[in-house]
Amino acid sequence: MGGESISMSGRKGRLVLAGLICAVVVTTGCSGQKRENRMLFNGYYFPVKAKAIDKKVSLADFTVTVDKASQSPDDAREAGRHGGTVYCISNYGTSEIEWSLGPDSDPAQLRIVDDKFTFSGTCQRP
């Protein structure tokens, strides 16, 4: 092997590169989970979805659903906090949230239903 180098130039190299790109795209597409909706906290992935309760009335009132909450409830709470923060920044330009049932609520109030936490809050105006 003395001094040989691997080159991606030329037709063969482009075909190999194209094949690798296709493999990555296919693998990502088959995951069944949108990666942009997953959050990693302390080694656990949590699918998170934030949405308006009634967007015809107001975008301020929203819910955040955190899936796979039973794998680490404390980390799932943080994923929910982050999901709410991202939602409010996207819709109101602020991270201020008044939680009606949120990540800092008394743990006795929080229930994991179908392996999900559901939090609700209101984005505060800047």
Q: Distances from the Cα of 101 to the Cαs of 59, 64, 78, 81, 105, in angstroms?
A: 17, 10, 13, 11, 6
- Residue range 54-97, pLDDT digits in tens: 999 999 999 999 999 999 999 999 999 999 999 999 999 999 99
> At 98, which helix (H) or strand (E)?
strand 97-101
**Predicted structure pTM score:** 0.69
With a pLDDT cut of 90, the percent of the chain lying above it is 63
- Residue range 37-48, pLDDT digits in tens: 677 878 999 999
Mean pLDDT of 13-27: 46
